[in-house]
């Protein structure tokens, strides 16, 4: 069987190589993805070698993006590509790989890549900003700060962009107090700009702490740093989230009077907030006002309006907005699809949700949330085979499932008592370097013990232990 597979790839590779120059990077990337999905982990290098494929920077970047949720599988391809003749990894390929590894907490391998970049003189500020973001997102605050402090050792001088990157990473992970502490200690070393203050402003808005946000805004103005359109947008967002929608509208009016035209983002925030407050008429009026002011709606504004209609169960109106998007040349995205599906599932109209899924997949690519919602929905409807069809469709589209997508199907299989298929999926999940959540692993563990399959549990536990290791840094 192995020989046949090898010959198949070899023959295909030879045929392919003869006309390779006629292939664009997307076609080559799709071919690589097909091999990666269909080939066993241990035979991947051989299959890729025998395919005759010649990789380029563009091809490698496309493949790594496709497998961003499958860090270890992506890393195996990354390592293979790095050994090919006449090819050198781009900075972007390294960055995509670093993000992918950090997502699954493979920090030791991540820092190996950083050292590799240093040896080639490829490190830059963005490399460290990516790592800071990922550490902060994993609530590893000390490691995020360590990354900023260690930059000099890697011959990269920290500047205001790096300082802003650290503050942004901390604020977005709800560690605003740590960010404020660092800002107060180092603001004389790195002179803050409007972006610095906007980051802190947004951070306090996330807590939320409106008085502190106002204090930062005042400090910004007092320091001689004028608010820009981004700062105003953040202030509008903070006020809306604090339930001060009318006050947010006043800020928008002040902007217009001062000649600062509100952006589509600001209008989308207002439309979204009115939707949450069930003020559908105000949401519509704001959308129309935006168009009268000459601001072209983007997909975010349309999504906010669709969400507002879904909130009040006016799905026909929501569909009309999607039609309007098509007329205006604004293509829907996965978020559009997810808003509609989530609203319909909330109304227990699962048949219509499935119809929307099938229609929307013809005009936009589903994301991990889309597949997770659909698989979970069919599992809850006790239609496990349909859930499996969605999974197979996802694989056909060469979409790498996230941890939540895996968990949705594994949980569904466990609830149905289908332990064998649940184990296969659990193993595949860990083979891709994705660590299962405690709830999902615990549910499968309980079933295996109940059936007396301690040997299988031990096998899965060993694989789990390999993924748990999280070295700090280098």
How many CA within 13 A on the CB side of residue 170? 28
pLDDT tens-place string over residues 150-162: 999 999 999 999 9
Residue 76 pLDDT more than 70? yes
Distance CA 289, CA 349 (A): 33
Mapped onto helix, strand or coil, the DSSP state of residue 363 is: coil
Per-residue model confidence (pLDDT) at position 138: 95
Give the tokens for residue 297: 């709606």
The distance of Cα 96 from the centroid of its chain, to the nearest Å, equals 12
Closest CA to 397 of 134, 34, 77: 34
Q: Structure tokens of 88?
A: 């050198």
d(CA 321, CA 284): 11
Nearby residues of 355 by Cβ (< 8 Å), 6 or more positions away:
none
Distances (CA, A) of 428 to 129, 423, 434, 463: 31, 9, 9, 11
Closest of 197, 173, 174, 169 to residue 184, by C-alpha: 197
Q: What pLDDT, in 10s, does the model give residues 425-460?
A: 999 999 888 889 999 999 999 999 999 999 999 999
pLDDT for the residue numbered 468: 67
Averaged pLDDT, 114-122? 97
Cα separation, 84 vs 54, whole angstroms: 8
Segment 345-363, tens digit of pLDDT: 999 999 999 999 999 989 9
pLDDT at residue 40 greater than cutoff 90:
no
pLDDT of amino acid 46: 93
Output the pLDDT for position 19: 43
Q: How many CB atoms lie within 10 A of CB 178?
A: 20
Mean model confidence pLDDT for the chain: 90
CA angle 46, 47, 50 (to 5 degrees): 85
Residue 397 has pLDDT above 60, yes or no: yes
Nearest Cα neighbor of 192 from 147, 159, 169, 228 is 159
| Tokens, residue 278 | 């069930």
Task: Of 42-46, 238-242, 363-367, 449-453, give the lowest mean pLDDT range.
Answer: 42-46
Decide: helix, strand or coil at residue 417. Answer: coil
Contacts within 8 Å (CB) and 24+ apart, 454-463: 456/423, 460/423, 460/426, 460/427, 460/430, 463/427, 463/430, 463/431
**pLDDT tens digits along 208-234:** 899 999 999 999 989 999 888 899 999
Q: Give the tokens for residue 257.
A: 């009077």
């Amino acid at each position: 069987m192995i020989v046949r597979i090898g010959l198949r790839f070899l023959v295909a590779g030879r045929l392919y190589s003869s006309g390779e120059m006629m292939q664009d990077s997307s076609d080559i990337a799709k071919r690589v993805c097909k091999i990666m999905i269909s080939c066993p982990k241990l035979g991947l290098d051989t299959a890729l070698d025998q395919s005759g494929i010649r990789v380029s920077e563009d091809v490698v970047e496309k493949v790594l993006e496709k497998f961003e949720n499958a860090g270890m599988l992506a890393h195996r391809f990354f390592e293979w590509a790095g050994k090919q003749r006449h090819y050198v990894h781009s900075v972007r390929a390294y960055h995509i790989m670093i993000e992918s590894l950090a997502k699954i907490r493979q920090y030791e391998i991540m820092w190996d890549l950083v050292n590799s970049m240093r040896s080639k003189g490829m490190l830059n500020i963005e490399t460290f900003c990516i790592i800071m973001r990922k550490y902060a997102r994993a609530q590893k605050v000390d490691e995020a700060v360590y990354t900023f402090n260690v930059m000099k050792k890697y011959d990269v001088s920290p500047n205001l962009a790096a300082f802003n990157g650290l503050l942004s990473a901390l604020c977005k992970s709800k560690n605003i107090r740590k960010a404020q502490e660092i800002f107060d200690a180092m603001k004389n070393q790195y002179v803050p700009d409007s972006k610095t203050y906007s980051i802190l402003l947004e951070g306090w808005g996330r807590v939320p702490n409106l008085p502190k946000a106002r204090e930062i805004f005042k400090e910004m103005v007092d320091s001689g740093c004028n608010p820009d359109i981004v700062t105003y947008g953040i202030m509008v967002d903070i006020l809306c989230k604090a339930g001060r929608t009318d006050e947010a509208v006043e800020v928008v009016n002040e902007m217009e009077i001062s000649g600062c035209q509100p952006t589509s983002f600001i209008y989308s925030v207002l439309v979204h907030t009115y939707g949450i407050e069930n003020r559908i008429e105000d949401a519509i009026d704001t959308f129309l006002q935006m168009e009268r002011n000459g601001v072209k709606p983007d997909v975010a504004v349309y999504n906010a309006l669709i969400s507002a209609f879904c909130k009040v169960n006016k799905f026909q109106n929501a569909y009309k907005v999607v039609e309007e998007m098509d007329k205006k040349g604004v293509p829907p995205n996965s978020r559009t699809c997810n808003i509609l599906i989530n609203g319909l599932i909330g109304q227990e109209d699962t048949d219509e949700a499935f119809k929307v899924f099938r229609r929307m997949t013809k005009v936009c690519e589903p994301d991990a949330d889309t597949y997770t919602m659909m698989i979970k929905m069919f599992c809850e409807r006790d239609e496990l085979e349909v859930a499996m069809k969605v999974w197979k469709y996802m694989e056909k589209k060469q979409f790498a499932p996230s941890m939540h997508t895996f968990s949705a199907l594994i949980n569904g299989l466990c609830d149905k008592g289908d332990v064998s298929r649940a184990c296969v999926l659990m193993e595949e999940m860990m083979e891709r370097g994705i660590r299962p959540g405690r709830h999902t692993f615990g549910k499968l563990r309980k079933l295996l013990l109940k059936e007396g399959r301690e040997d299988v549990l031990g096998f899965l536990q060993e694989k789990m232990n390999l993924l748990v290791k999280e070295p700090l840094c280098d």
